[in-house]
Structure 1
Amino acid sequence: MKFIKTLLPGLFAVVTSGAALAQPAVIPGDYPDPSVTKVGDTYWASATTSNWFPAYPLLKSTDLVNWQTVGNIFNKVPDWADYYFWAPEITAENGKVYVYYTAHKKGGNLCVAVASADRPEGPYRDHGPLVGQSDGSIDGFPMRDETGKLYLIWKEDGNSVKQPTPIWAQPMNEERTALTGEKKELFRNTDTWEGNLVEGVSMIRHGDYFYAIYAGAGCCGTGCTYATGVARAKNLLGPWEKFSQNPILTDEGSWRCPGHGTVVEKDGRFFFLYHAYDKQTSVYTGRQALLKEFTFTADGWIKFLPATPVVAAAKPVSPRLNDSFAGKTLSHLWQWSVFKQPHFDVRKGALTLRAQPAKLGSAVAQRTLTGDYTVTTTVDRKQSAGQPGLAAIGDDDNALGISLDGSTLNVWRLERGKKTVVATQPVDPSRKLTLQLRAQQGHRFSFGYATDGKTFQTVTKEPINGAFLPPWDRAVRVGILAMGSAGEPSVFEDFVLQNTQP
């Protein structure tokens, strides 16, 4: 199972505490609730996607520091679910890979479900919900007790209805398709720092104790209060004791609101892969994945160390992403709304998007990794019958963008479903057209265009404030879109995202 992991030999060496506090994210961008397991010589990770789809990215690494996205767990929405794809817990045992995940049940509430595969890259077979309480059930984690019996650990989502949030344990069959026996509460939010919830439990057994590293308080948004605590018990079903000096991981260096992760171990040294917000780019780049070392104290508790030595340092954010649509489909980095499957075709070095009858039309988007960046896309005006555009997107009801309508460029604002035109610019209908979006500080957006692909003219006199864009649990995406009458094509020759290093 995933609760004990092995790192590659020689991965870590000593660095200074100051360097550790300034360390970059190992998975930059919007990757909340990261989870990781090892299969053979490769580490596999996933993270929350919420209402972006495909659900749950699959990333692989040989050093736990540098990661490559190679696919997604779900390219089709499971039949029983509709949205909120949260907290995938990826684990491997006996030649199988399991993903315990949370999603909203059609006509119901949040449930913990499971999918499995014969290899980490999939394909994954969904087995449906394991538990779905009336208040909602989230954050599933598998754990064996002191006798080897398999349990599912999860949180009852009581905070969603202003109730406490118990952490439950219940036996699970070896096929991971059903819970058995009776559930038992392990602990709940009782301490002041935990606020109205505890969640995101990751367990490990070490020495005489089971340890539960868990998150408390508010996970998300500019007002987040998240922190990390630990509880211990000599038997899985308790009694559980919380550490008197909780929280053990709080705001630190350039990161804030840390929590909800997974434990990994190597030769008596232990690490925690978790998420936090960058203090500079905040909610606009989202909750990013970090790696931090901890140790066990003489009196049997967990202590995070001030320095996390890393030899295989994380590569800096790539300065440039250039998608020329050379393949036969979109890369695994592209996402779209779970509520609105886009109709697209990739061939001969172009992406064709077909409009849908909605304010935002049909859109595909990418995560943002820094607060300052420039995005351009070149439109094939001869093949486009609709209204091609470029936008910063929060969700289906909140976006800022620029789009072409005939021979007029419109810069518009979509806020809470209400769309208004901010600025207009006539353009020569016979000229080539490249659209431009520029972001500053993650939320200040300017829009422009070029007819030669090089010399850009600004349509907006002053940057537009996009602080309203990201929902409480997500970050800003940037993408291309097709608006207009249903089915009208918008054709794009490229998508270039140029980051400014933080």
Structure 2
Amino acid sequence: MRKVFLLLMTWVAAMTVSAQPLRNPIIPGYHPDPSICRVNSDFYLVNSSFQYFPGVPIFHSTDLVNWKQIGNVLDRSSQLNLKGASSWLGIYAPTIRYHEGVYYMITTNVGNGGNFMVTAKDPKGPWSEPIWLEQQGIDPSLWFEDGKCYMMSNPDNTIMLCEIDPATGKQLTESRPLWQGTGGRYPEGPHIYKKDGYYYLLISEGGTELAHRLTIARSKDIYGPYESNPANPILTNCNMKGQTMQIQGTGHGDFVQAADGSWWITFLAYRNFGGSYHHLGRETYLAPVEWKKGEWPVVNGGNPIDTLMQVPALFGTLADSVKSQHDINPKDPQWVYIQNPIADNYRFAKGGVTLKASASTLTENSQPTFIGRRQESNTMVMETEIDVASLDKGCEAGITVYQIHDGHFDLALVKDDKGGVEVQAAYTIKTLHQAQKAMLAKAKKVRLRITAVADHYVFEYAADGAPFTTLSRQACSLVSTEVVGGFTGVVVGMYAQGKGAARFNYFDYIEN
């Protein structure tokens, strides 16, 4: 009896050790449409970037939990034309793959060229010039096998497959239909995997909102016919089990097998704040996959995705850290611009930047002068300081909470013709515009601060070392996707519009 008891306790201890907590998202903030690949003990992950330059952020990890951005795949204007792009357009879901010493990233530039891919020997870059592709549709992906390179995408709401030359992009076979999914709208995001003699085709359905989900089919032949999994969808929070979760919109995933043989899936989802609203964008999440030989994959034991889950032992634990920055370093890959930046409008020096105003406002959306970073937490503080002497008459210079060109909050300084300085907290929500203003007397330096507190933003200013004064408060829901639309999330940063220029001495971003 004692021996049985000891065996039981050993089993319980082993089960306890073999599980650990996983906190989601693994890459917070606007990082949608993740695609992942493993090369030896290294994992690489890319996200879509829409209207922002540089495009397609790329991350590295050795444990699937702690990720560091190592660059941006599309970092030259010759690779990335974003003329006229908004957060409805630009770079859609990319796929990253590795084959015979070469990294491939394939994606769609919606509005400026369609499907293309780039290659590199090192995931940090440099990446090649675009190789343009014939088969259209969005969310293209690649599969390499037996010396052949296959491309899939979704023209006409059908997952289509063709063979291409990976060096030139030339299409070598006609496009053939594989699957239209289970009946959900927008079948997209296809990826092919081969396991136990089957080709598995993973796709997204339902639209990238509340009803988003992942479905899967398989075939003994890469061209089909494909049999739908009777247990579809294999991932969704839009059901009775997941309806009370903060996390919603789960979908658009990519499987990866770790070196120990375990399977995992990265996918997008979003977190609601202040009701059924999300403003931080679609983020990158992780879940375990049980994939027994010859059977269908099961994601997270069939359970919904939560911000904290018990999962099989990973290779590391999430490191606790306070995210913060002070200096404005243009070489930091987190910094982004709206569309292709006009280089002469940005002069970096001593940790700060002088911004030359663009003739285009943020709302007009034609290469506005803006530099910022993604907001990754619902509680954060951003602050800058502007030298009033550097602020030209006719220049509006400040900081912004930017969701889309017709959905943003701005806190800025404006100098009038007599040299007077006005601070204004304004919002643009579709066709609604409003501003609250205050005049400043003989200020030399003015600090502007926006604080995100749970479900609202606080807008404050302080002149020459005086205490901060609150000028406005606004609900986060006003810049949510549900209100102003778009496919991105809040990006915070500095801007200048009108005429002239202004000097920003620093930019603080601190997550609480």
The TM-score with structure 2 as length reference comes to 0.83
Q: What does residue 131 of structure 2 align with?
A: 128
CA 176–219 in structure 1, closer or farther in 2 if over 3 Å, else same = farther
CA distance in 1, matches of 2:162, 2:36: 23
1:124-203 alignment runs, 5 A limit: 124-133=127-136, 137-144=137-144, 147=146, 149-156=148-155, 158=156, 165-175=157-167, 177-189=169-181, 191-192=182-183, 194=184, 196-203=185-192
User: Are the equivalent residues in 2 in contact too, given 1:380–1:492 (CA < 8 A)?
Assistant: yes
Which of residues 114, 118, 126 is equivalent to 2:121? Answer: 118
Q: Return the match for 1:372 from 370, 376, 379.
A: 379
Instruction: Say if 1:40 and 1:265 are closer, same or farther in 2 by CA, change over 3 A.
Output: closer
Please state how far the C-alpha of 1:46 moved relative to its aligned partner: 1.1
Distance 1:234 1:201 in 2: 17
Q: Is the 8 A contact 2:352 2:507 kept in 1?
A: no
More off after superposition, 356-365 vs 206-215: 356-365
The SS at the match of 2:133 is strand
1:320–1:496 contact (8 Å) kept in structure 2: no
Within the alignment, does 1:31 sit opposite 2:31 as a pair? yes
Over residues 203-230 of structure 1, what are the superposed CA-to-partner deviations in whole Å (9 max), with x where a residue is unaligned?
Answer: 211102111222110103xxx3101111
Instruction: Measure the CA separation in 1 of the matches of 2:370 and 2:460.
Output: 19
1:154-303, aligned counterparts within 5 Å? 154-156=153-155, 158=156, 165-175=157-167, 177-189=169-181, 191-192=182-183, 194=184, 196-220=185-209, 224-251=210-237, 252=242, 253-266=245-258, 267-280=260-273, 283-297=278-292, 300-303=295-298
State whether residues 159 and 177 of structure 2, in contact with CA within 8 Å, keep that contact through their aligned partners in structure 1: yes
TM-superposed deviation, 1:181: 1.4
Aligned AA for 1:314? L
CA distance in 2: counterparts of 1:229 and 1:473, whole angstroms? 22
Task: Note the alpha carbon deviations across 1:280-328, whole angstroms, 9 max, x for none.
Answer: 4753111111111112247621111334333512235x53422223x5x
Q: Deviations over 1:414-434 (max 9, x none)?
A: 233x57342111112333210
**CA 1:374–1:206 in 2, change beyond 3 Å: closer, same or farther?**
same
Pair 457,330 (structure 1): closer, same or farther in 2 beyond 3 Å:
farther
Look up the SS of the partner of 2:231 in the other structure: coil
Residues 400 and 466 of structure 1 are in contact (CA less than 8 Å); yes or no, is this contact kept in structure 2? no
Other structure's SS at 1:168 match: strand
The one of 492, 496, 500 aligned to 2:504: 492
Which of 1 and 2 has greater Rg?
2
Asked if structure 1 preserves the Cα contact closer than 8 Å seen for 2:443 and 2:464, the reply is no
Q: Deviations over 1:312-349 (max 9, x none)?
A: 12235x53422223x5x352111121165462111123
Structure-2 separation of matches of 1:334 and 1:127? 23
Q: Is residue 140–residue 154 contact of structure 1 (8 Å, CA) maintained in 2?
A: yes
Matched-pair contact (CA < 8 Å) for 2:65–2:317: yes
Report 1:464-475 matches (<5 A): 467-468=478-479, 470=481, 471-475=485-489
What secondary structure does 2:266 align onto? Answer: strand
Whole-angstrom CA distance in 1 between matches of 2:361 and 2:375:
22
Where in structure 2 are there 5+ consecutive unaligned residues? 1-15, 302-309, 363-367, 416-420
TM-score between both structures, scaled by the size of structure 1 = 0.84
Gap runs ≥5 in structure 1: 1-11, 159-164
Counterpart CA distance in 2 for 1:465 and 1:272 is: 30
Q: RMSD over aligned Cα, in angstroms?
A: 2.5
* Cα shift at 1:458: 0.6
What is the rounded CA distance, in whole Å, between the counterparts of 1:66 and 1:154 in structure 2? Answer: 30
Which residue of 475, 478, 481 maps to 2:492?
478
Cα separation, partners in 2 of 1:311 and 1:362, compared to 1, 3 Å:
same
Alignment size in residue pairs: 457
How far apart, in 2, do the equivalents of 1:81 and 1:395 lie? Answer: 18
State percent identity of aligned pairs: 22
Matching residue of 1:93: 99
Cα distance in structure 1, aligned partners of 2:107 and 2:119: 11
Shift of residue 243, structure 1, vs aligned partner: 0.8
- Code of the residue aligned with 1:451 in structure 2: it is A
Q: Is the 8 A contact 2:267 2:286 kept in 1?
A: yes
